[in-house]
Amino acid sequence: MAKVLMKGTVAIAEAAVRAGCRFFAGYPITPQNEIPEYLSWRLPEVGGAFVQGESEVASINMVYGAAANGTRAMTSSSSPGISLMTEGLSYLSGTKLPALVVNISRGGPGLGTIQPAQTDYLQATKAMGHGGFRVMVFAPSTLQEAVDLTYECFDYAERDRNPVLLLMDGSLGAIMEQVEFPPMKELTDEGTRKWNLAKHEGETRMPRMLTPVYPEVILENENKQRALLTKQWEENDVRVEEFMMEDAEYVVVAYGISARVSKEAILNLREQGHKVGLIRPITLFPFPKKTFQNLNYDQVKAFIDIELAIPAQMRDDIEVAVRGRAPVYEYGRSGGMLFDDESVYDAIHKIVTGGAE
């Protein structure tokens, strides 16, 4: 397919349709409103259903119902709206139901601001809801990557019978770039037929029940299976980009829009002879710990966490992965204040030249 110029939120919506999504329920909130707006007319074109729920709580439970019938379902929201959905997300995981959740994040805490931010990292990677469940978290840095990951996320969710989160800040949601869309998937219910509640015409089988309620012993076993699933993600599904890392002495760690700005700063620093590289986690959970463990710490002198968050939220994961073998610095903006090339360059330059505390 030829490349088309498209806004980030709209590109995600079209990619979801092409991945086989046939149900969406959501509630308006800036800066993700173009996703439900687009799907409100696009889904009926392909035989799908769109519902604007009366709230985020209602919407996530509608997704729960659609997923239980084997339909590829999704919702989207932004920061405070995701908080309202977390109970439903826990029930989705507890019932072992697949769904895609998209968070086009904004500043906080509280109502915060409608401007872009990356202050949902801890929520996304540590506590999407009660009960200790985990979800795979993907963080694109380009719109093409957002399209490709959206297309794949439904497969991951269905494979694992677990929700998947796509985390993208409002900057990436608002920008326009050229993207190339994958083909429309021709889906059957083969992947869900063994467990979904939909009964086909002429089919004879015993009634089924899907539930997040288990006796204690069974629930413990279910949680052991979830722990094993997390280990399998860590072994097989971690994604990371390494940029100019071959001889890097100073390593910037950034994701999403922050990584894009950091790359420009790194190129400028390289021109001045400073050996700076970038590690960009694409899966925020599982975090790419092995990438840090495999570095040459006789060569690497320090790490710099660049985030649209104050304090930096990813820093704890970096510290765990580094294990004290090099210092970790941070630079961030918050409350909807965005980076520019010069400020990120200055922050990294101060550390590289020994001027940062």
pLDDT single digits (tens) 222-253: 999 999 999 999 999 999 999 999 999 999 99
Domains of the chain: 4-236 (3.40.50.970), 241-352 (3.40.50.920)
Mean pLDDT of all residues belonging to the chain: 94
- Three-state SS for 9? helix
Distance of CA 86 to CAs 26, 33, 95, 149, 250, Å?
14, 19, 14, 22, 37
Pick from 129-133, 191-195, 332-336: least confident: 191-195
For residue 157, give the nearest of 183, 135, 138, 128 by alpha carbon.
Answer: 135
**H/E stretch holding 213:** none
**What average pLDDT does the segment 145-165 reach?**
97
- Indicate the SS3 state at residue 260: helix
Q: Is the pLDDT of residue 19 over 60?
A: yes
